[in-house]
Homo-oligomer: A and B are copies of this chain.
């Protein structure tokens, strides 16, 4: 019979199995795995290597983590993972996590606060070493509480940020983006702008953009307003009235995101095409080919994801403990036919 008992058939070989096969203790195997062969005989080393290879042994990260109190996993909650923007955030996060050999535990909050909370709790239960949270919004107090708790793990807020909160934040520079777009509209001779968005409801991104627009409007260089809609079905009835207010002037619709952009394309009567401008915070990949080509502010979600992961990793694994930072990444203005005027 083998030296190690196998309670279940076909288990993966454990360190004990390797040790037994080589005829040394688990300690030696452990040392081998950690490259501590300073004082190890050439021969044992080779024998261990051979056996590990034969048995196809791989150390159990779970067991390692239990002892080490680091799991090499970080948790990510995404407000709505079905959104292409989110997938690019993940791409960026992945890039840096892969380079540091940390795994990603990913959850989708499906735009529900309650889900986000339980997701975070589950991730914590799974012993993640840190959290990247693309919050659905509306749970600031709870998040702040968590960050204030004694045994909290480092956390980075991504895209949707919450201020003031005690953690690093990464977002688009929405105010600057809005200003850039409105500057562009002025230059193109627009006299009015209508910023269209879904309800803010604690979504910091929307709030920031709305404030950006309102503050710009207050300067008086361009006329306009903010239109908040709950349901796309209401747009056909509300939009004409709003646009009517700017009759005689060249007006441009400014959509908060891809989805709203599509809602507007759907709503805009044929007659309005070419008369009213259109622009949006949107992914260039689609904005470029949507309709006649829609002028957009392309965010850089991949870079945002990278920034968030970098910040998290430096706190979770490299002992960084400076003051928390808010990183605002610039958006890129891509001009297409929709604002030719």
Contact = CB atoms under 8 A, between A and B. Distances in A.
* Max chain B Cβ within 10 angstroms of own Cβ: one of A10, A12, A59, A266: A12
A63 B73 CA distance: 15
A40 interface: no
A274 interface: no
A94 B108 contact: yes
Interface stretch (A42-50, A205-213, A216-224, A285-293): A285-293
Given A62-B71, A81-B91, A290-B290, A285 B302 contact: no
Interface stretch (A116-124, A164-172, A229-237, A317-325): A116-124
Contacts of A71: 62
A158 to B, nearest CB: 15
Interface stretch (A98-106, A135-143, A196-204): A98-106
A105 B103 contact: yes
A106 B90 contact: yes
A60 B125 CA distance: 6
Contact of A73 (B10, B66, B126, B286): B126
Interface in A108-163: 108, 110, 115, 121-127, 150-151
Contacts of A125: 58-61
A127 B63 CA distance: 10
Given A62-B65, A125-B59, A289-B291, A81 B73 contact: no
Contact of A87 (B12, B62, B86): B86
A34 interface: no
A84 interface: yes
A26 interface: no
Nearest to A119: B98
Contacts of A266: 289
Contacts of A108: 90-91, 94-95, 98
* Max chain B Cβ within 10 angstroms of own Cβ: one of A63, A90, A290: A90
B73 A82 contact: no
A104 B91 CA distance: 16
A151 B110 CA distance: 35
A262 interface: yes
* Max chain B Cβ within 10 angstroms of own Cβ: one of A106, A110, A266: A106
17 contacts: A62-B65, A66-B66, A81-B91, A82-B302, A83-B87, A84-B84, A84-B87, A87-B90, A90-B108, A94-B110, A95-B108, A98-B107, A101-B122, A103-B122, A266-B289, A286-B290, A289-B291
Given A60-B127, A105-B106, 13 more contacts: A10-B151, A12-B151, A73-B105, A81-B91, A82-B87, A82-B90, A87-B90, A94-B110, A101-B122, A104-B106, A265-B289, A286-B289, A286-B290
